[in-house]
């Protein structure tokens, strides 16, 4: 079974498509997402991260805010 996505499939998937954006366009798109959508993306992109409310409460004693989620995603996408 082929689990790899073609370039065309990647470009049509919002999780991949967001990774092509930069600057204001990225920030605007991320702001349009709900906190839940941002956390879903973070969990998809970094399976070992601590992003869900349950994990965050257990690990840090608080939950990830929407603003912080946007900051983390922006940092991940802008990494060299």
pLDDT digits (tens, 9 = 90+) for 39-51: 999 999 999 999 9
Phi-psi region of 2 (alpha: psi -120 to 50; beta: other; left: phi over 0): beta
Residue 65 reports pLDDT greater than 60: yes
pLDDT the model gives residue 3? 59
Using CA atoms, how far apart are residues 9 and 16, in angstroms rounded to an integer? Answer: 9
pLDDT digits (tens, 9 = 90+) for 17-31: 899 899 999 999 999
pTM above 0.85, yes or no: no
Q: What is the largest CA-CA distance in the chain?
A: 41
Contacts of 45 (CB under 8 A, 6+ apart): 15, 73, 76
């Amino acid at each position: 079974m082929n689990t790899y996505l073609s370039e065309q499939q990647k470009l049509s998937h919002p999780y991949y498509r967001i990774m092509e954006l930069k600057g204001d366009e990225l920030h605007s798109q991320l702001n349009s997402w709900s906190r839940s959508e941002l956390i879903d993306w973070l969990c998809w992109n970094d399976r070992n991260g601590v992003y869900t409310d349950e994990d965050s409460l257990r690990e840090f004693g608080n939950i990830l805010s929407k603003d912080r989620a946007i900051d983390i995603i922006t940092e991940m996408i802008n990494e060299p």
